[in-house]
Amino acid sequence: MVVDSLLAVQLNQKIDAIAQHIGNSTQNSPDLMSGKSGEMLFLAYYHLYKNDETKENKTTIILSSIFDEIKRGFKYPTFCNGLAGIGWTVEHLVQHNFIKADTNKIIGSLDDFLYPYMMHYIREGNYDYLHGALGLGLYYSSRKSSERAHGYLIDLVAELDRQATRMDQGIAWERKLKPDSDVRGYNLSMSHGIASIITILSRLYEAGICKDKTLELATGAVTYLLSNRRTADAKYLFPGWVCKEETEMIQGGRLAWCYYDMGISIALWQAGQLFGSERWKKEAIDILLHTTRILDLKEGGIHDAGICHGAAGIAHIYHRMYRYTNVDAFRIAAIFWFEQCIKMASFDDGLAGYKTFQVAEYGGWQKDYGLLNGIAGIGLAMISFVSDIEPDWDSALLLS
């Protein structure tokens, strides 16, 4: 993408500053979304961007420290904070030639270790991609050389089929909507809900896993998702979730990867691509175009620059969809939100000027090195915008 020279200079300066901070990080947690694995992912792409021939050695050093943490007893299973995300990262680095390794030897033991957790999660109704069964399924989908992983994915599809709620509006999966509440319903989001299920079912279909069943489930899920679309005059077209006990949709929304229209749009686009539905792809474009009218940070619910619900994530989704569709409105929107991202580097004591917003009860503004909310994700989005490198790293966020 052609980038304005001033913005390109500003982004490159930020990328270098982020790399320096991550290179000096003393983060101990080995996980993907907030820990060393996410930092390693950034550095791998950064050194590729800089054409640094020592990138494999630097990545291997971090990988060794991650495995040291695992040897010391790290056994948390999830994709966001645990072994599934670490395993996915290793597979990604090997498959994209950042490092050379036999993944069956170095992470193959995870296949059997994670399976009971995946089945426990899904049978308890925890299909969450970040913190439950679907994230472990995402790990297995990356294990292309493992026959066991293929079999485990068949079991996952069977459980998704068994747990599906079939109704006139389509297919959905019921869950507890908040940890501290007994309210149940259907979460529509990319981070925790039906949009992520659609995306992962699309990947499994592409991989030849239970094609008839994944097609049936994904088609029903898309139908249900679209049945909750609001009228065109609404600021945001989709709610975050639908409560079983309520007949009216909950109002509200924001610009974000995690919830509402943007994540839903890109989930529909990928499903349309992989299942061959031009109608779904058109819906995806229309939904995302609807969001481009929102240019005010307060109106968009934006406080910081992180990937999850900040300016870099918004910019990257627009950039991704521009690459997919060549719709110029998405290019213009990506530029606008990367400009906002530069402006948000305003903290003298921040990491390259950045801090992550938390409400006061969770500590207020914080330094964050991570992929999901911190500078690793911000830096990766920037690299993807100013370079011709395919941003395959974002498959961890279900964006490719």
User: Tokens at residue 379, please?
Assistant: 């830096």
Give the phi and the psi of residue 175 in degrees, each rounded to 5. Answer: -155, 165
Residues 6+ apart with CB under 8 A from 93: 40, 41, 44, 59, 63, 99
The answer to the question of whether 131 is labelled as a binding residue is: no
CA distance readout (Å), 242 to 30, 70, 173: 35, 39, 11
The answer to the question of whether 290 is labelled as a binding residue is: no
In DSSP notation, 297-341 reads HHHHT--S--TTTSHHHHHHHHHHHHHHH--HHHHHHHHHHHHHH
The answer to the question of whether 308 is labelled as a binding residue is: yes
Segment (H or E) for 259: none
CA atoms within 13 A on the CB side of 321: 34
Cβ-based neighbour number of residue 234 at 10 Å: 15
Residues 6+ apart with CB under 8 A from 207: 141, 144, 153
Query: Which among 241, 261, 361, 352 is positioned nearest to 305, based on CA atoms?
Result: 352
CA angle, residues 211, 216, 217, in degrees to nearest 5:
100
Specify the 3-state DSSP secondary structure of 353. Answer: coil
CB 170 within 8 Å of CB 221: yes
Annotated binding-site ranges: 258, 308-309
As annotated, the binding site for Zn(2+) includes 258, 308-309
